[in-house]
Amino acid sequence: MAYIMVDVESDGPIPGDYSMVSFGAVLVNDNLDTTFFRKLKPISEKFVPAALAVSGYTREETMQFDDPEQAMRDFAVWVNEVSKKDRPIFISDNNGFDWMFICWYFHHFTGSNPFGFSSQNLGSLYKGVVKDTFKNFKHLRKTAHTHHPVDDAKGNAEALLAIKREFELKIKL
């Protein structure tokens, strides 16, 4: 299986009404050097200024970003290439949010999602491993959480690798 850690930045709470501003992905392996990143042109006139501000971009800047359809086609190619015919597994810190955007954009712009119909949540995995629903994995990140999606995905991938090592998690990477 190919675990792919994904992070999304958006200008609002839901896809369709609002836009994915950028996203990043990291193939989870010992090197964490296989990454994907795109900035996307808005698909809607609506945006929440506070949500957009998290990304560090202005609305005017986002209007110059990549075509969302092409970005999702490029991402699908990348996912298939790095998976090397293994099943790609989508995992993120907040998969309820990140998955919602990625899945919607894939289906809306390409008609299918190379990850299929399911995703995994890093936070829930950690809570299960340590048997405590009040614990948080974020202390296991090495890369700073900057709200650049590749940095954030890399930090989360580092945490997954730490969980694998420290708790002898059986996971095929």
Average pLDDT value over all residues in the chain? 97
Instruction: Summarize the confidence of residues 73-93 as an average pLDDT.
Output: 96
Instruction: Summarize the confidence of residues 15-27 as an average pLDDT.
Output: 98
Domain annotation covers residue 138: yes
Domain annotation covers residue 149: yes
Please name the residue that has the structure tokens 């890399």.
154
In this structure, are residues 43 and 70 in contact, taking their beta carbons and an 8 Å threshold?
Answer: no
Share of the chain above pLDDT 90, in %: 98
Strands 120-121 vs 20-27: parallel, antiparallel or unpaired = unpaired
Domain annotation covers residue 158: yes
Give yes or no for residue 154 having a pLDDT over 90. Answer: yes
Instruction: Summarize the confidence of residues 56-82 as an average pLDDT.
Output: 98
Question: What is the per-residue DSSP string for 103-158?
Answer: HHHHHHHHS--TTTT--EEHHHHHHHHHT-TT---GGG--S---S-HHHHHHHHHH
Give yes or no for residue 85 having a pLDDT over 90. Answer: no
Instruction: Summarize the confidence of residues 97-115 as an average pLDDT.
Output: 98
Number of domains present in the structure of the chain: 1
Give yes or no for residue 38 having a pLDDT over 90. Answer: yes
pLDDT at residue 91 in the model: 98
Instruction: Summarize the confidence of residues 25-41 as an average pLDDT.
Output: 98
Taking the CA of residue 75 as centre, how many other CA atoms within 13 Å lie in the half-sphere pointing to its CB?
Answer: 33
Domain annotation covers residue 172: no
Give yes or no for residue 49 having a pLDDT over 90. Answer: yes
Domain annotation covers residue 127: yes
pLDDT at residue 125 in the model: 98
Domain annotation covers residue 114: yes
* 147 assigned to active site: yes
Out of 108, 139, 145, 147, the active site residue is: 147
Quickly state the pLDDT bin for 24 (edges 50, 70, 90).
very high
Domain interval for residue 141: 2-167
Domain annotation covers residue 14: yes
Domain annotation covers residue 173: no
Domain containing residue 111: CATH number: 3.30.420.10
pLDDT at residue 29 in the model: 97
Give yes or no for residue 161 having a pLDDT over 90. Answer: yes
Give the C-alpha separation, 91 to 25, whole Å.
10
Give yes or no for residue 155 having a pLDDT over 90. Answer: yes
